Structures are given as structure tokens and as C-alpha cells.
Amino acid sequence: MRITDLLSKESIKLNLSSKTKPEVIDEMVDLVNASGNLNNKDEYKEAILAREELSTTAVGEGIAIPHAKTKAVKKACLGAGVTKEGIDYEAFDGSLSNLFFMIAAPDGANNTHLEVLSRLSTILMDEEFKNSLIDAKSVDEFLELIDKKETEKFPEEQKEEVVEDNSKAQDVQKDSKYPEVLAVTACPTGIAHTFMAAESLNNKGVEKGITVKVETNGSGGVKNALTKEEIEHAKCIIVAADKKVEMNRFDGKKVIITKVADGIHKADELLDRAVKGDAPIYHADSTANDSEESTNEEESLGRKFYKDLMNGVSHMLPFVVGGGILIAIAFLLDDYSINPANFGKNTPMAAFFKTVGEQAFGFMLPILAGYIAMSIADRPGLAVGFVGGVIAKDGYTFNNVMDFANSNPVSSGFLGALLAGFVAGYLVLLLKKIFSKLPASLEGIKPVLLYPVFGILLMSIFMMAVNPIMGAINTGLNNFLSSMSGSSQILLGAILAAMMAVDMGGPFNKAAYVFGTAQLTVANAGPEQFAIMAAVMIGGMVPPLAIALATTLFKDKFTESERKSGIVNYVMGLSFITEGAIPFAAGDPARVIPSCVVGSAIAGALSMAFGCGSRAPHGGIFILPVITNPLMYFVALVIGSIVGAVILGLLKSKKQIN
């Protein structure tokens, strides 16, 4: 289906009057409606808005392609609009959008809208062509430009030259019948960026005289799929993807793995690397799923440690949050002050919530250790790490294992589980190397017999040997924290809260949060441990709230889209979702980050000074009833948020576009 077949003169406007995103949507919907192909204009607009709610359809580089597939459309059609001034359509690269194509596809039209999207994305990658459309003097010229470009790119009438999708690069004649370089492109939505990256790689291939074939993993499925023979003969494979793609097929080949944006903007560099063979050999793991391979790119030791740790933490958090909040609910239903030793037994409901919460929370350390080990050694590491985490949690040693009921085990806590996870992972890697010398006929019994039996045995011996040491360290740390008071405690609260705001979900943030949640696992955790968790949580709540307040109090310092996002940040901040501040921090880090850090530090220090404590690891304002001294905790949150907002408002300059 050609683009020119879907456009009519009535649905094209070369001088849009809109200044904002809502206005341009209204104007573009009117253009589509002018084609006479809508059953219901309002219903079609609702479908367009619903799609925008998922993510912006501005693809960057000055282009936006809003689209919808709905029964409100009688016949597939397009609307096109141009504005030389540019409109803020919330593009991922921050650019203003000058060229708009709005797609309308009927509900039963299969993937018509995806086919049109891929065509538009492909031809609009040509900067000269895109600019010629923006500078078109008449509707007729606009249509002629598209028709000419489309004929050039998709010569369907010449049957002998027809190839699937993005295969222009293969027209370059070489001695070999196989392409020199293969590529796979994929983005999370599988629409615009997938095809833009493919087109960019193909175009650069033609310029450089390199035969390239690109497989696109789009919303409509895999197109232009790479064959086994092509993979065997390729010099190198480029995987420019932001989502999982099938990787085992590239075992033993040189593979460059990068993000889809690099496929668009760094195609020249990627192809040069591919032709030179500047890429690592990819090794697929037969014990892992196709969607679980690593990038095989060399990583620093610190980066590898962080990735493995975060794999454990990300799997651990649902247990921590779910179990912790259920335990906190038990505190609402039972009076802890009457008899702490009998807490949770005074009422049936409290007993229920406490029991379920503790069971979920109890998985925290084994899950942490298990998934760290799995990150290092794939699935064979999971069981070994899990057992190591249980031993760390329960404090088993050689001295008490024979008479555990009458002994006094000391849990090595979070530190012990952390050690168990990393040791388990590398222990399994060692076993893999040792057992690699066995006959191939025994390959099938390794993951189900040899790795778990020898891995768990060696892991148990190691952990029982080091548990007394790790337990002593863990106890010493807890005693030190319990001994802190006055200014030392306030300083600790300020530092932890500030760390939550430094990178808003990055390493510093995660380190502070993991430290806070680890305090809740301490045996007989008390006010000192609860105070640390409260300071950590308030530090994560302040950044989104400070930004939301700033967008409300200093409207002339933010764009319209930023002010709208600011409203959402009220909810995110109150819900303890620090990541709501990331888009603002990424756009203006020099002003946003210092403002949030100061606000969070003040809130954390006040939380400590007021003696606030949280028994739950998450929940934000919704667990305020179970916070110790809830009124002053809320006051600390308000003060920290206001301070951060005022500093941000003073630092930012006025926007020209409001």
C-alpha cells in the first residue's frame, strides 16, 4: 500500500496553526476527517489520545507519526501537516516536531497502520527528503515529493528488483552471494525506531559499498529474517536492539550488541567495526533461554558486580515490599506496646497478616543470593545461591548444626547472603569448567545432577565456615548503628536520604535502599533500624514532589509538557517512586539533581531528628499510619520538598515556550 494512495489534498496542510501538542492533535484529526474516511471523528481522536498515553509517537529528528487502529475508521488514510516553527510533541530526543503524519487504520485492516508506519519511518530517514517536505511550497509539490521518493525506495512495478522490507543494501553487487554484514534491529514498541535503524544501516552500507541485510523485529513480527547460510558466511552481526532477540543462532560469530539508537545515529561507526571484525565472539549458553544471553562485551569489574547485585536486588524487592507492608498492617491491628514478645498473637487478623508477611519477607535473603548466583552462572547457580542464602539467614555453623534447637545461631544477614550469592555463582562456573572434561554423553546430567549436588555441598561447607565471621561483622554493624544518637544519627539520615536523590534509581539510590531494607531483616530490629528505613524512604519521596511543586510554583520556568508531567510527580512522589524525577534530571542535571539532593538530605535529617521510624520498606504516604511519629514525618516530607522546589525554581531560567 503506497503512502500517496492514502493521502488526499484535503488531508494535507503545510502551515499548521497549532502551538501545543493538544492543539496539533485536534488540527491533525480535522485533516484526517476531511478525507471523508472516518465514521466517528470523536471516537478516532480518543483512540489517538489513548495511543499517546502509552508513549509519545514523536520519533525524534523533527518527526511525529501519531496513529490509531479503530472501528471509527472506514478506510485507511493519512493526514499530513507541516510547521516550520516546531511544536513540543514530547520527542525522546527533546527536539521540536516540524513534520506530522497521522495514520488512521480500520479495525479489521490487519497491520495496515504498522506497514504505513514502517514505510514512513524508512523514507523519512533521508534528511534531505524530510527537509524538502517541510519546505514544500504547495500540496501538489508535497505529494510529488513523496511519490518520487516512494517509487525510488519501493519499486514494486519492477518485479525482478522486488525484495522484502529493508534489502536495498543487497542491490550492491559483490563477488559473494551472501551479505558481508548482517544486522537485527528492535525497539520496545517495534514500530518507528526499529525501521529507522534498519534504514540507516542499509543506507550507510550502500554509501560504503558494503552488502548489508537487516532483520527487523517489529510489532508485526520478524521481517527479512536472517537465514542459517547467511549467518554462517557473515563477517559480523550487528544487534541494535532495546529488547530481547533470538541470540543462540549467532553462537561462534563476531557480534556487536548495542542499543537501537546507535543503529540510527552511529550506523557509520558500527559498519566500520563490523567490516574490520572489531567485535567479540558470541558464545551462547545451551542452559539459557534465547532471551537470556549476555552481551559478551567486555565489562569492568565494578559494572559486572553491579549488574549481578541488581539482578538479586530486583528479584528480592517484591518479597521485601509485599511482606514488609503486610507486617506493617499487622502493627495497625495489634498493640505492639502492650507486650512486644506477644505481638501478632493478640488478634486473629494481626496474626494472619504477621504470619503471611513474615513468610514472604523471609525469602528476601535466599532470593537475593540465588539470583546473584544466577546472574553469574545462569540457571545452575540458582539452587546453589538459594541454599547459601538460607544458611546465611539462619546462621548455621558447624558448631550448632548437630544441635540447632539448643544452640544460639547468629544470622550473617544481608552481608552473608551477599557473599553467598557471589561465591555460589563463581563456584558453579568452576564446576562447569571442571565437568567440561567429562564425556559428551554425560552432558545432560550436569545441570540436573552434578551442578546442584556438588554445588550445594560445597556451598554449605563454605557458608558454615564463614558464617561465624560474617555474623560477627553483621552484629558489630548493628550494634554500631544502635549506639548512634543525636547529631551522628541525624547526619546518617541526611546522607542516606541524599543518596536516594543523587541518581534516582541508579547505584547510589539502590545502595541506600538496600541498606535500609537490610536493617529490617536484623534480628529483633528496633527503633534505630526503623529510623534508617524511614530516612531512606523520605529521601526517595522528595525528588518527584520537589519537582512537582516547582512546576506549580514556578510555571514560567517549565514547558507545558513539563508542567503536565509535574502533576504526575505528585502521585509518584507520595507513592515513593523516585524514578518520576528522572526525565527532569536527565534534561537539566546541573540544576535538578543538586536541588533534590539538598531537599532529600533535609527531609532525612528531620525524619531522624523527629524520631520517625518505618517498619515497612515501601508504600510512601499510604503507610503513614504505621510510621512512628507520623505527623512529624509528614512535616519533614513537606519541608524537604518545599526546600528542593524553591532551590530548583531559583536555579532555573525562564522558558521561551510556555
Active site residues: 67, 187
Number of other residues whose CB lies within 10 A of the CB of residue 587 = 12
Beta partners for 93?
none
Q: What's the residue count for the chain? A: 658
Phi, psi of 183 (to 5 degrees): -145, 155
Q: Can you tell me the distance from the alpha carbon of 536 to that of 310, in angstroms, rounded to the nearest whole number?
A: 18
Give the span between the Cα atoms of 212 and 206, in whole angstroms.
8
Find cell 509535574 and name the residue.
Answer: 566
Cell numbers at 34, concatenated: 476531511
Q: Is 629 left (phi over 0), alpha (psi -120 to 50) or beta?
A: left
Contact 264, 196 (CB under 8 A): yes
Distance between CA atoms of 79 and 30, rounded to whole angstroms?
Answer: 9
Query: How far, in Å, CA of 590 to CA of 595, rounded?
Result: 9
Q: Which amino acid is at 430?
A: L
Do the Cβ atoms of 87 and 19 come closer than 8 Å? yes
How far apart CA 138 and CA 133 sit, in angstroms, is 10
408 to 67, 366, 382, 387: CA distances (angstroms): 65, 21, 28, 20
Whole-number Å distance between alpha carbons of 279 and 273: 7
DSSP state of 613: B
Question: From residue 482, how far is each of 277, 325, 470, 477, 632 by CA, in Å?
Answer: 57, 23, 18, 9, 22
Q: Are 57 and 69 in contact (CB under 8 A)?
A: no
List b or e across 384-421, with b for residues whose CB sees 16 or more CB atoms inside 10 angstroms. Answer: bbbbbbbbbbbbbbeebeeeeeeeebbbbbbbbbbbbb
Are 208 and 217 contacting, i.e. CB atoms less than 8 angstroms apart? no
Annotate 85-123 with three-state secondary structure. EEECCCCCCCCCEEEEEEEEEECCCCCHHHHHHHHHHHH
Place of cell 509519545: 56
In a 13 Å sphere around the CA of 40, the CA atoms on its Cβ side amount to: 11
- Per DSSP, the three-state class of 70 is strand
Query: Which residues, other chains included, contact 103 with Cβ-Cβ below 8 Å and sequence gap of 6+?
Result: 65, 66, 67, 68, 76, 78, 113, 116, 117, 120
Q: How many CB atoms lie within 10 A of CB 232?
A: 10
Contacts of 392 (CB under 8 A, 6+ apart): 365, 369, 411, 412, 413, 416, 417, 419, 420, 463, 467, 470
Q: How many CA atoms lie within 13 A of 385 on its CB side?
A: 34
> Considering Cα of 241, then 245, then 251, then 253, what sign does the dihedral take?
negative
List of long-range contacts for 311-315, beta carbons under 8 Å, 24+ apart: 311/371, 311/372, 311/374, 311/375, 312/367, 312/368, 312/369, 312/370, 312/371, 312/372, 312/375, 312/421, 313/368, 313/510, 313/514, 314/371, 315/367, 315/368, 315/370, 315/371
